[in-house]
Amino acid sequence: MTRTIKLFLFLAATIFAASTIRAQAQTAAPIHQKDFIGENPTADADIKTVSDYTNWIVAGDADKAKGLLAAGFKGYGPAPIDSVTADQEIAAWQENYKNTSNRKVDFVTETFRVLSGNLQGNWVSTWGDYTFTESGKTVKFPFQCTYHVTNGKIDISRIYYDRTYILMQLGYTLTPPPAAK
């Protein structure tokens, strides 16, 4: 009997605690964007940095583009595990130049400042379409890239695009794995 009473009291206390937490969460002040995101005070300069970098890298001027990357630059994407340094980023583009032609980019930008936390600082987002020709095939795909800019240099980039879509335009096909027996 004592065991049953203790179990009942434990369950009652757990239910009470859970309902109290839920009630507190419902009464908490709402989170507003203006509390975490603000206007970028160096908006025009940061947009110019990102636009110049994007245009130069696509045009094949890797040396000019590299001049806009900070010494500690880190690029991420499109997969969560992908990352590169400035030298690796530029080397990848230089390798890309050997196999592609007619590279074009069309994009728009938006900028904002994160006011606190581990993402604090000035950010510039670009989104648009990238087009190139490889092996006689023209490929066009959408992308989105967000850059962290500090003192006129890009120190972080996060890019998103669909690799499979690109490969399919180049003629690759997906082969499913063999069925399990």
Q: Is the dihedral angle over the CA atoms 145, 155, 119, 33 positive or is it negative?
A: negative
SS3 3: helix
- Please state, in angstroms and rounded to a whole number, the distance separating the CA atoms of residues 54 and 129: 12
Phi first, then psi: give them for residue 39, nearest 5 degrees: -75, 140
11 pLDDT tier (thresholds 50, 70, 90): very low
Across all residues in the chain, what is the average pLDDT? 88
Instruction: Classify the C-alpha dihedral 177-161-122-90 as positive or negative.
Output: positive
Determine the distance from the C-alpha atom of residue 92 to the mean position of all C-alpha atoms in its chain, rounded to a whole number: 18
Q: Is the pTM of this model over 0.85?
A: no
Tell me the pLDDT band of 172, cut-offs 50, 70 and 90. Answer: very high
Residue 125 CA to its chain's centroid (Å): 9
Per-residue pLDDT, 20? 45
